[in-house]
Amino acid sequence: MRLSDEDCESLGYAKNLLENPTLAARITDLIGRPIEAGIKVLPQGWADMVNKATTISLEKALDVALLTLHDRPRTEAWEKLHKLAVTATGAGGGAFGFAALPFELPVSTTIMLRSIADIARSEGERLHVIEAKLACLEVFALGGRSASDDANDASYFFIRGLFAKTVSQATKYIAEKGLATKGAPALVKFIAQIATRFGASVSQKVAAQAVPGIGAVGGAIINLLFIDHFQSMARGHFIVRRLERNYTPELVRKEYETL
């Protein structure tokens, strides 16, 4: 068995999205200076606040994913509409600075999750399936590199492999017991794994918005890059998952790695 020419082209497009330059590189190109310039002016304890805001945002996103994401007829994703919404929240974050993060990030994350789900549906995902809902949340872990990562540790299939067991455990738990116990080890571990990688992207965004002179307009543009980054990760992720459903995961991975 081999992929059709059309599906090979789709897989190549997905790989190009998933292996593109990191969010940090794109932001640095935009603002014309290293993100470290923003880190220097952040208040003491900023990393703890980012970690806390990231975890809370993902917990809220988990609620949204499991309670309100449902199937509907397959249509084109409304990516531009979601971009406008996140850009508006970025303007507020840029105007009020780091103090706005605990309020802005949960809103931005929820809007991004809606956009990710739209993209998932457009690629044929059935969002009544718990595993598909968790796959939407997995996108927040893509494209965000932690300090200890090398290039291989940040590759798409490596990250999916890290999540495979946790997703399986969380899916089984929710299927058997529902959402009665939010502190269940399977869900706590799932959120913690995503938070580690999503937090790296959030830190990059926060540092860029803290660069002197960025302001509301700069904050809006940075948030536009932020959602565009995760929309690209989502599109690549769900193209790969669509092809895995049509062929086999093993074949798709082999083709991906030889492209």
| CA–CA dist 184, 39 (Å, integer) | 35
> What pLDDT does residue 31 have?
72
> What pLDDT does residue 51 have?
93
Which tops the pLDDT comparison, 22 or 164? 164
| Average pLDDT of the residues of the chain | 83
Mean pLDDT for 81-92 is 62
Containing structural domain, residue 114: 5-258
Closest among 132, 115, 118 to 75, alpha carbons compared: 118
> What pLDDT does residue 215 have?
66
* Residue 97: band (very low, low, confident or very high) from pLDDT cuts 50, 70, 90: low
> What pLDDT does residue 195 have?
93
Which tops the pLDDT comparison, 215 or 258? 258
| CA–CA dist 123, 132 (Å, integer) | 12
Total Cβ atoms within 10 A of residue 53: 21
Mean pLDDT for 6-31 is 86
Residue 161 scores a pLDDT above 70:
yes
Total Cβ atoms within 10 A of residue 32: 7
> What pLDDT does residue 89 have?
64
Rounded to a whole number of angstroms, the CA Rg of the chain reads 18
For the chain, percent of residues with pLDDT exceeding 70: 81
Mean pLDDT for 116-123 is 92
Mean pLDDT for 231-255 is 96
Which tops the pLDDT comparison, 255 or 101? 255
> What pLDDT does residue 178 have?
72
Residue 130 scores a pLDDT above 60:
yes
Residue 237 scores a pLDDT above 80:
yes
Mean pLDDT for 138-160 is 73
Number of domains in the chain: 1
Residue 151 scores a pLDDT above 60:
no
Which backbone phi and psi does 216 adopt, to 5 degrees? -65, -45
Mean pLDDT for 33-62 is 87
Closest among 27, 25, 54 to 211, alpha carbons compared: 27
Return the amino acid letter for 248: T
CB 18 within 8 A of CB 236: yes
Indicate whether this model's pTM tops 0.85.
Answer: yes
| CA–CA dist 2, 67 (Å, integer) | 38
